[in-house]
Chain A
Amino acid sequence: MNIYVLLKRTFDTEEKINIQQGKIDEDGAEFIINPYDEYAVEEAINQRDQHGGEVTVVTIGEEDSEKQLRTALAMGADKAVLINTEDDLEAGDQFTTARILEAYFEGKQPDLILAGNVAIDEASGQVGPRLAERLGMPYVTTITNLEIKGESADIERDVEGDVEKVQTSLPLLVTCQQGLNEPRYPSLPGIMKAKKKPLEELELDDLDLDEDDVEPKTKTIEVFLPPEKAAGRVLEGEVNDQVKELVSLLKTEAKVL
């Protein structure tokens, strides 16, 4: 099987977000593989071990993303591709990403593409589905189980806590949800082998794309932090009065009623 994983480098979940001049400050921050993409890498490796074939991990980003690709290689992926847009693009959105990936997949014969359900930074959940549309293949999101038999795939997906069972066919794109598997730790032999595995670097030019082709369809107007949590309030007096006061506060202050 020809298996591909779409991977994004994101902030470590424990990083604090600081905003400097309208942008998220990345100075000194730690980066990781987007946790949902880790499920995708793990699943890809398991499917390959079961059915044979090759796992290629693809990311769009900057030179620094190489570290996350190496980690995926250390987990057991076979090849990695970095589409480096550092010099070409100033801004991008989900359209940009899907369009670049579409160009990347041109002429390739993927049987299975796996992505995270969302990235923990921007959390749009769009890239996978949009790419599948562009490639004209079926897609299933938030999967928690995947069984492939020949050309067909039995899938369980998480629907707001319920399970939906779906049957579809390859080639196929899926996005991975927590519960699908337990991603492995990259082993030390894996880390040493990863050094020698192929990591290809491409630029927009190599994909016959111009900056204009991938110009974002959206514009970020403002980036801001959620308001700081205010201190709680304890209502006092008779219970009846407290309830009345609460209802009135919910109407006038919180404006939820």
Chain B
Amino acid sequence: MSETKEKMFKGGAFIIEDLEPEDIITPEDFTDEHHMIAKTTEDFVAGEVVPKIDKLENHEFEHSVQLLKQAGELGLLGVDVPEEYGGLGLDKISSSLITEKFSKAGGFSVTHGAHVGIGSLPIVFFGNEAQKQKYLPLLATGEKLAAYALTEPGSGSDALGAKTTAKLNEAGTHYLLNGEKQWITNSAFADIFIVYAKVDGEKFTAFIVEREFPGVSTGAEEKKMGIKSSSTRTVILEDAEVPVENVLGEIGRGHVIAFNILNVGRYKLAIGGVGGSKIGIELSAKYANERKQFNTPISRFSLIQEKLATMAAKTYANESAVYRTVGLFEQRMSNLSNEELNDGKAVAAAIAEYQVECSLNKVSATELMDFVADEAVQIHGGYGFMQEYEVERMYRDSRIQRIFEGTNEINRLLVPGSLLKKAMKGELPLLQKAQALQEELMMLMPEEVGSEPLEQEKYLLKNAKKIGLLAAGLAAQKYGNKLEQEQEILANIADIVNEVYNMEAAVLRTEKAINKSGLEASSLKLLYTQVYVQEAFNRVEANAKETLIASEEGDTLRMMLSAMRKLTRHDPTNVIAKKREIAKRIIEEEKYVV
């Protein structure tokens, strides 16, 4: 048993490995302390932030500052900061739960997330001793607030194309930064900016820039579609004087910080998406019970039930997947020695390990959030279009999530890209597996699937993995180095991998719950899993088919399609019936429950 505990998973390995329920962390593993931390956050947001949302939406940012300081007093800003620098140094599950519960705060959750996440973490992970001593105690309490300045008017997804420059002054004491950073969250009030600039116009480097430094200013507040509770401005650097000791990490190695911090930002965003989706379900279920048409609460109509059930089943799968990633991070980070924790390279390697998982979660959970917000408005009908209803703001707030922290398109392309890199480096035997699969398929006989709980879902999961390998292997064979140009195929492969990750997380979580609490107590989890896996499998099949058709033709294509049919053959689940069962529970409880 102790061996399984020590087992450390390589990023992306889930595609070719079979996992056991004990291999993943699930929300059912949370401790009493975790629940208490979640409750404190929930109560703080409901009691202090929500009453001020109208003011925040109106850009009265003095309240944002005040609320962050209050959050700091409760310890809600110091979870990821080590104890020796004035933080709490708690585990990743604790900080994730805080992120999840902050989603009720709408745009203010972005304010909070930018401070504790991309604003503070670069110093936590990559700061030197003096920088940590100087800044972290202030950031952990909220005495100073942080922002992250990477994007420029001309460089978004292409972050390394930044034009901001840094030049050492003659005395050798300061860098002079020149350029403009765009769409910087918290810029109205942040005291500290993590700024990326190119030293001598070439070497991409991160700097800690204080607002008070000469030459630093901010532009006008942007007029945005959503997350209006957060401040967004340009940061203008005009011969901004940054002391040499404020170079973060190594000169010319800023991309290591930028990309790894984005990884963390991505999974945190995914957690927020799951939290927001739970709120969307709750608002929708309550409304559907209250609202009557034809003398009937609309929650009695099965088409409304279908919406609630789909929202909940998808939320379950995403929640399982996101906390699965949190568990992976926690395991890897807690295994780092103190020495390694102070070495930016070791930390970066640990974070980069799960780049694929972070991108998958980001894409999936932000699209979940958008789907839920959209359906929540739909369930509210015309009222959902009116600003008195929370879902109206939710709908506008959710839209940015598919865009920032790397667009979902960029994140999709990153998935096959990094998997292929890992395969080339020999870290993942993907190609060998793909070849072995082709041989296996020739011999494959139809399999009898039992009727025990989860047997069907495990069968579909196993086959989805094979279908993914089949499609990816074929595309790699056909296009070789030019596969990079076939973005539609790459996105298809990313989507298949994403479904596999979510399906597996749901299956393993449900299995773990059944082992622990029995089938009856896990009945809703089982329903969610059955519905999600069936629908996800259908999507996998469609994506794979499209990929095969785009990669082959004629007899070879027909042969490949028939090989795939061997893998897709199954007795489908009646999802309509299962969704009605799910909806019954959601309508009864008027919220997302498991």
Contact = CB atoms under 8 A, between A and B. Distances in A.
Interface in A175-190: 185-189
Contacts of A70: 32, 36
A82 to B, nearest CB: 14
A71 B40 CA distance: 10
A188 B88 CA distance: 8
16 contacts: A28-B593, A67-B35, A70-B32, A71-B36, A71-B39, A74-B36, A185-B44, A185-B47, A185-B74, A186-B40, A188-B40, A188-B76, A188-B79, A188-B90, A189-B88, A192-B88
A187 B70 CA distance: 11
Contacts of A188: 37, 40, 74-76, 78-79, 88, 90, 94
B409 interface: no
A70 B32 CA distance: 9
Nearest to A186: B40
Contacts of A74: 36
A62 to B, nearest CB: 15
A191 interface: yes
A195 interface: yes
Contacts of B94: 188
A71 B47 CA distance: 17
Nearest to B48: A185
Contacts of B78: 188
Interface of B is mostly: helix
Interface string B35-68: 1110110011001000000000000000000000
Given A28-B593, A192-B88, A187 B73 contact: yes
A185 to B, nearest CB: 5
B339 interface: no
B33 interface: yes
A74 B32 CA distance: 12
Contact of B74 (A28, A187, A195): A187
Contacts of B74: 185, 187-188
Given A185-B43, A185-B44, A185-B74, A191 B593 contact: no
B37 A67 contact: no
Interface of B: 32-33, 35-37, 39-40, 43-44, 47, 73-76, 78-79, 88, 90, 94, 589, 593
A195 B94 CA distance: 15
Interface residues of A, number: 14
Contact of B40 (A28, A191, A195): A191
A218 to B, nearest CB: 33
A70 B76 CA distance: 19
Contacts of A185: 40, 43-44, 47, 74
A194 B88 CA distance: 14
Given A188-B75, A192-B33, 8 more contacts: A71-B39, A74-B36, A185-B40, A185-B74, A188-B76, A188-B79, A191-B37, A191-B40
A17 B449 CA distance: 42
Contacts of B44: 185
A187 B33 CA distance: 11
- Interface-central residue, A186, A189, A191, by most chain B CB under 10 Å: A191
A70 B73 CA distance: 20
B32 A187 contact: no
- Interface-central residue, A67, A192, A194, by most chain B CB under 10 Å: A192
B33 A195 contact: yes
A188 B36 CA distance: 9
Contacts of B33: 191-192, 195
A201 to B, nearest CB: 16
A186 B39 CA distance: 9
A113 B198 CA distance: 66
Contacts of B593: 28
A16 to B, nearest CB: 8
